[in-house]
Chain A
Amino acid sequence: MNEQAAVVSLKSVTKDFARGGVRALEEIDLDVRPREFISLIGPSGCGKSTLLRIIGDLVQPTAGEVVVNGKQAHQARLDRDYGIVFQDAVLYDWRTVAKNIALPLEMLGWDRERRSERVGEMVKLVELAGFEDHYPWQLSGGMQQRVSIARALAFDPPLLLMDEPFGALDEMTRERMNMELLRIWQESGSTIVFVTHSIAEAVFLSTRVVVLSPRPARITGVVDNDLPQPRNTDTREQERFFELVTEVRELLRTGDRSGEELRA
């Protein structure tokens, strides 16, 4: 696959925070191909959320090049080339479920009829039919996050950025949401960059796991995930699953060690 086809292409991306001169990211190189499900995993505070925001042109890198969908990240944002899901659902609580999902469609100037048709589809996709007229505060955390995923996918962006979207959910809800996300990913055909600090979640979901070191984050290693698709609850019990989990864990540890050496 050539570079033109990459959905996200990062070249030597470095980020220094002005305050205190802290280096968050160092020389990050990464290509995300169409239909990939990439997980970014690293210790908390390592800068993986910052990296996600740099891809989304919400934070500017200090150095390096960010290309999204074949254009500069800034242009990609102007063209609404990606949807984003945060750790909290970030729903507007004066809007109903249907109106929250329709928010990006309003921005794009879709007419009412087209909006409500798409909202109907999205509500079905995230299995919230019947809750269209509910307000966010009437929903559970898991349901709120499904609304936020529906909102991100509503305008059919080629890229979905997810910043620890299930981090605030309990383990059971989280595993169910993982299953649903995989189904949605397959049905929608989008490319996903997913930030997490859960090794199991990263291995279960991704086609590739990108392991980051503690600050300043560098890519310690990339694990190709050959677990068969479609994945289901049995996937978590396969031997290969545990091997991959171990591999990721080892890489996280290596990153830690090299960090210590650097500090020493």
Chain B
Amino acid sequence: MLRRGLVFVAVLAGLWALWEAYRAFGVAVSLTWPFEVNGRTMPHIHDMIGQLFEPSRRNGPLLIEVLGKAALFTAKEAAVGFALGAGVGFLIAVALVHSTLLQRGFLPYIVASQTIPILAIAPMVVVWLGGRGLPGWFSVSVIAAYLTFFPVAINALRGLQSADPRAHELMNSYAASRWTVLWKLRVPASLPYLFAAFKIAATACVVGAIIGELPASIQDGLGGAILNFNQYYASSPESLWATNIIAALLGIAFFLVIVLAEKLVVRRAPEHFV
């Protein structure tokens, strides 16, 4: 645990050093390719972090407070989106695993659904759900769910099919019902696959929530903050960078929750853990 902590700090320090070294080099030789290096294109990392502890506007709260609130708001959207998407994805997989016909008929459309850019879907979702009296952030959750359900459905399907044929024969010898096979064999066997999907989905739902806030015109989340600070990039690039750092931390937090849940839930040989 201590070693992992040290590695983490060392990698972080290394990346920091790399950024600053490239920046210093770029400034020294007046680099113009691939882009000009200066305080606007590459602010100092300590400036980005310092910016978090500056007031967000004159006499306003500190930027970190503003972004913290925004991150919590986006986290709520993303978490609801994750639950929705994971649930729907899993149910789709359960349906498909029991019917080759459904699998052949529906799988292509499920794949096709992901080729439509989320920016094309998002406004429709907002229009559809906006008039239903649902809170605006719920539309964003649905958009996040749209990104979440796909990896979960595909991996869960694979996982539900992953048990050894002998393990199925054993169930057969007990004359087990489909339902019993599902709960006692297919689902437990699918857990490692499911958690691999959850890890992808955990970061995807955060991205989905942030992007979803834009067409939904929601100002309270990180998407709103990014849009806002984007407009002031010329005068204060550190604010946008600081927002990006918070967004990244939110994604990492979601990922870690899944890793933790996996350790609690999945009972496997130690080498199965990553």
Given contacts A88-B166, A106-B184, contact A94 B266 (CB under 8 A): yes
Chain B residues 134 to 192 lying within 8 A of chain A, measured CB to CB, are: 164, 166-167, 169-170, 172-176, 180, 184-185, 188-189, 191
In the assembled complex, A92 has its CB within 8 A of some CB on chain B = yes
Chain A residues 60 to 78 lying within 8 A of chain B, measured CB to CB, are: 77-78
Q: Which residues of A contact B269 (CB under 8 A)?
A: 93, 135, 137
Q: Which residues of A contact B173 (CB under 8 A)?
A: 56, 58, 77, 82-84
Q: Which residue of A lies closest to B265 (CB)?
A: A94
Q: Which residue of B lies closest to A78 (CB)?
A: B175
**Bound complex: CA A232 to CA B180 (Å):** 42
Q: Which residue of B lies closest to A151 (CB)?
A: B170
Interface residue tally for chain A (C-beta within 8 Å): 22
Q: Which residues of A contact B172 (CB under 8 A)?
A: 58, 77
Contact of B167 among A56, A90, A135 (CB under 8 A): A90
Given contacts A77-B173, A80-B175, A84-B173, contact A93 B268 (CB under 8 A): yes
Which of the listed residues A88, A92, A104 has the most CB atoms from chain B within 10 Å of its own CB?
Answer: A92
Q: Which residues of B contact A135 (CB under 8 A)?
A: 267, 269
Given contacts A93-B269, A94-B266, A106-B184, contact A86 B169 (CB under 8 A): yes
**Bound complex: CA A56 to CA B170 (Å):** 10
Residues of A within 8 A of B (CB): 53, 56, 58, 77-78, 80, 82-84, 86, 88, 90, 92-95, 103-104, 106-107, 135, 137
**Can you show 17 pairs from A to B with CB atoms below 8 A apart?**
A56-B173, A58-B172, A77-B175, A90-B164, A90-B166, A92-B167, A92-B188, A92-B189, A93-B267, A93-B269, A94-B188, A94-B267, A95-B188, A103-B174, A107-B174, A107-B180, A135-B267
